[in-house]
A and B are shown apart, each in its own frame.
Chain A
Amino acid sequence: MSIEASPAVHAGPGLDLWWIPRGIVLGLIAFVIFGPLANLLLWTVAERWYFPHALPLDYGFSYWARVFAPRGNAMEALANSLTVAGLTVVVSLLLAVPAGYALARLRLPFRALILVAFLIPQAFPNLPVYVNVARLFYQLGLNGTVPGVVLVHVTHGLVYAVWIATAAFSAVDAELEEAARSIGAGALRAFMDVTLPLAAPGLLASAIFVFLESLDEFTGSYFVGAPDVNMLPLLLYTAGAGGNYQVASITALLLLVPSIGFMLVVERFLKSDVLSKVGR
């Protein structure tokens, strides 16, 4: 990314030669981002495609019909993925809202350490941990169940939930809550009526983060969920490993849609005043 020189170099009114380097750089970025996505879309409608052919030999929707067949396992995987992600959000927020409020507002011993503790599931390799979790869950009868997978996803998503919730509560002016208290509102009332609504956009952002993190999660689902709880990432992986790029690409597309939808609206929820407080 080049930073252009001062506007004094402009060739004249209406004609801005700096659009040439700008256009090239932006065009390259666009290709790097949309090229792979276009390739994926091609694969979803390719009936036959192999090297050295630049484009698919036949186009069609027969793989879509196969994926969405009533007896196909994609619909089951989709339903499982959405159920797990929804439950993960509910459990994560129930844990993260009080924790985030305490971290943002109350005097806590070892505050920095507590904040970093939520980073642990992201900071250490998950794979050996999930193997041991699977062993533990097997003894408890949680292996291969939806609650088991939800618990694994909650652990993994808590860093987003707690860190963003903390940032969201920090960004709310503490004096507003104090004002509510001084005119007679109880602590809980002031929190529910003043702080919580003001922090809501940030909390919603953290909820969506957790939701997408859960949809994305592969390693934990693989060890704790599979094969009893089939989910979209597992379906994608098995289809791709079996060389069925069409089914893998269609599944990938199903996972892409919510992710890109959120990307387009994220800044409506995550304002820079909240963003600048993440991790602090």
Chain B
Amino acid sequence: MPLPFLGLILVLPALAVILLLFVVPLAASVAGAFEVGGGFGFGNFVKTFELYTLDIVFTLVIVALSTAIIGALAIAIGGYLTLGENPRAVALLRWLYRWPMFIPFIVVGQVLRTFLAKNGLMNNVLIGAGLIDPLQAASFLDWRGIVIAFVWKQTPFVALLVAGAMASVDRGTLEAARNLGASRVRILVEILVPQVAGTLMVALVLSFVTMMSVLSVPLMINAQSPTMITADIAFRINAYGDYGVANALGLVSLVLSAGVAVLYLRHSVRERA
């Protein structure tokens, strides 16, 4: 059997699962977004933008902000792990940063709901340290809570991939730059980050789309308005059984996610060509 066919046969079962259990229902949901009564139309979208424009903007701002913070922190962590000159500090950081990585989102939601609450440990420590007085204690359970939850959970994942890629960059180049007098910040920005840009992009795209589809965190941390699209979809279905508007909202978040995925796809296809 010629090799391309053997390869396709080996890949086919896995692809079929994706096709039948994700692409087909996804298509059904896209079609459902245009279903009004018995026919097709844009009624669901009119209603969606009437009711949820603020939430759509809110979602995009929260996820974009979280992605930017995650990227910056991951570069900083990866950079320190690669370029740090104090072995003990590097080892400590390596041990520290990964803790939240595999903690489920639903657990992150519960953990931070208690931590960021008015009588949570964060406010208690700030009060105990004399930084704020008890009357100033405020709950962070709004958009800030969602951003904190996303950054808390996703940074280690991106940092792990980035640090792994940085570790495989040729040490000789780094040492040569160091010997020529380049500062470590400059080495990080001008040598390491460009070399790991591909991995960083993959990790950030994965994080972006993951955050776009998380239902548990917005439900647990900030269920009041404005909230994220995912919480609105669940509400539309649970409260009204309104699949039309739910699917239209789904299509909106799909378009936002796809925009980012297409950016990555163009980048990687160009790289492989």
Contact = CB atoms under 8 A, between A and B. Distances in A.
Interface of A: 1, 3-4, 7, 16, 18-19, 22, 26, 29-40, 42-43, 49-55, 95-96, 98-99, 101-103, 106-109, 112, 114, 116-133, 136, 151-152, 154-155, 158, 162, 212, 215-216, 218-219, 222, 233, 236-237, 240, 245, 248-249, 252, 255-256, 259-260, 262-263, 266, 270, 272-273, 275-276, 278-280
Interface stretch (B35-43, B49-57, B90-98): B90-98
Contact of B112 (A26, A36, A98, A222): A36
A125 B111 contact: no
Interface residues of B, number: 108
Contacts of A99: 10-11, 13-15
B246 A22 contact: no
Contacts of A212: 102, 104
B18 A4 contact: no
A219 B25 CA distance: 15
B89 interface: yes
B81 to A, nearest CB: 10
A192 B49 CA distance: 56
Contacts of A275: 160-161, 164-165, 168
Contacts of B254: 124-125
B106 A255 contact: yes
Contacts of B17: 95, 151, 154-155, 158
A84 to B, nearest CB: 14
A50 B10 contact: no
B104 A233 contact: yes
Nearest to A53: B119
Contact of B199 (A55, A155, A218, A276): A276
B257 interface: yes
Given A3-B84, A131-B237, A158-B17, 20 more contacts: A3-B80, A4-B86, A33-B99, A42-B121, A50-B119, A117-B15, A120-B26, A125-B250, A128-B29, A131-B243, A136-B24, A136-B25, A215-B104, A237-B219, A252-B106, A252-B107, A255-B107, A256-B103, A259-B107, A276-B199
A36 B111 contact: yes
B22 A18 contact: no
Contacts of A129: 22, 25-26, 29, 250
A52 B121 contact: no
A48 B114 CA distance: 14
Contacts of A162: 14
B102 A262 contact: yes
Interface string B206-227: 1001101101100110000000
Nearest to B23: A120
Q: List the 3 closest A-B pairs by CB distance, nearest first.
A: A275-B164, A128-B250, A216-B104
Given A22-B89, A120-B22, A279 B199 contact: yes
A187 to B, nearest CB: 9
Given A123-B258, A275-B161, A1 B80 contact: yes
A190 B76 CA distance: 42
B193 interface: no
B79 interface: yes
A51 B29 contact: no
A22 B89 CA distance: 7
A158 B164 contact: no
A33 B243 CA distance: 39
